[in-house]
């Protein structure tokens, strides 16, 4: 897959950063060393620094463009390229933090369990993931990928829904002194359906567009936009509300 675009991702920075703020406020420890897993362009790392300015702060991501942006944005932190599967937390870490990353991994439940089990006693794992595959913007992606000219190239692209909260609880609770799992549904005010398309081009739509050539991409996006117009009604002032459920987990190690 081509590298992520920090500029595209940050077009909706306020909306993408709000869950970060909500997650930080529910972390019950004062960490001295923090790792921002999948730090992206540093918007999450910056908020972590603002909340705990005395902490040692590190972030990693597998995207060179994201790392460059993060380094510019948060010079107080140390960033490096890596991926979750090759990361092993040591006993100096107090907080593993991750915003909208683990949902991309088919085996993310086992990875969450592995990382949490390797933490020292009293350290915390704090994770947020979109839980919105049942929303119209995702349904339209899956429906279109199974139709017409795109069917062959996009077969098997769609990712699976998140497991149930019970499965997360069962995976983490044996080694947790406290475990908090909750959902939040955000209703983001968007200027238009075009804005929703721009939003998903920065993340969720990337795997669907990657295999397509230029002409196929144009036709897919046009068909996608028309689908969204049918499922996202205009508000009284001509805007569109984007319903966005997210799953949050904060676990403290025994």
What is the domain count for the chain? 1
1 belongs to a structural domain: no
Question: Nearest Cα to 132, choosing from 245, 248, 19?
Answer: 245
Distances (CA, A) of 236 to 153, 188, 228, 233, 241: 39, 15, 18, 10, 11
**Alpha-carbon span 231 to 20, nearest angstrom:** 28
Note the pLDDT tens digit of each residue in 181-196: 999 999 999 999 999 9
CA distance 173 to 167: 10
CB 183 within 8 A of CB 246: yes
In a domain, 44, yes or no: yes
pLDDT in tens, 163-175: 999 999 999 999 9
Determine the pLDDT at residue 17: 86
The verdict on residue 131 lying in a domain is yes
* pTM given for the model: 0.93
pLDDT of 238 = 95
Instruction: Provide mean pLDDT across the span 136-150.
Output: 91
Classify residue 113: in a domain, yes or no: yes
Q: The domain spanning residue 230 has which CATH number?
A: 3.40.50.150
Residue 34 lies in a domain: yes
- Residue 37: in which H helix or E strand, if any? strand 33-37
Q: CB under 8 Å to 239, separation ≥6 — which residues?
A: 189, 190, 191, 192
Residue 72 counted as domain residue: yes
**Percent of all residues in the chain with a pLDDT value above 90, rounded to a whole number:** 83
Q: Which domain holds residue 173?
A: 6-253
């Amino acid at each position: 897959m081509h590298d992520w675009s920090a500029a595209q991702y940050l077009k909706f920075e306020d909306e993408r950063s709000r869950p970060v703020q909500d997650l930080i406020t529910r972390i019950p420890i004062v960490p001295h060393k923090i790792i921002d897993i999948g730090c992206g362009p540093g918007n999450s790392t910056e908020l972590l620094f603002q909340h705990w300015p005395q902490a040692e702060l590190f972030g990693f991501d597998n995207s060179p463009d994201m790392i460059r942006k993060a380094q510019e944005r948060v010079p107080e932190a140390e960033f490096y390229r890596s991926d979750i599967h090759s990361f092993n937390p040591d006993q100096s870490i107090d907080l593993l933090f991750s915003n909208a990353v683990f949902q991309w991994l088919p085996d993310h439940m086992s990875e969450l369990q592995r990382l949490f089990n390797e933490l020292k006693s009293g350290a915390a794992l704090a994770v947020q993931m979109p839980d919105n595959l049942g929303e119209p913007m995702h349904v339209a992606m899956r429906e279109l990928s199974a139709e017409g000219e795109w069917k062959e190239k996009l077969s098997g692209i769609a990712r699976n829904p998140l497991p149930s909260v019970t499965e997360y609880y069962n995976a983490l609770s044996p080694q947790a002194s406290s475990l908090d799992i909750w959902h939040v549904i955000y209703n983001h005010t968007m200027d238009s359906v075009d804005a929703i398309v721009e939003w998903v081009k920065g993340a969720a739509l990337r795997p669907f567009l990657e295999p397509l050539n230029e002409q196929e991409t144009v036709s897919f996006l046009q068909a996608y936009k028309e689908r969204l117009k049918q499922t996202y009604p205009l508000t009284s002032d001509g805007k569109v509300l984007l319903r966005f459920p997210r799953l949050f987990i904060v676990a403290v190690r025994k």
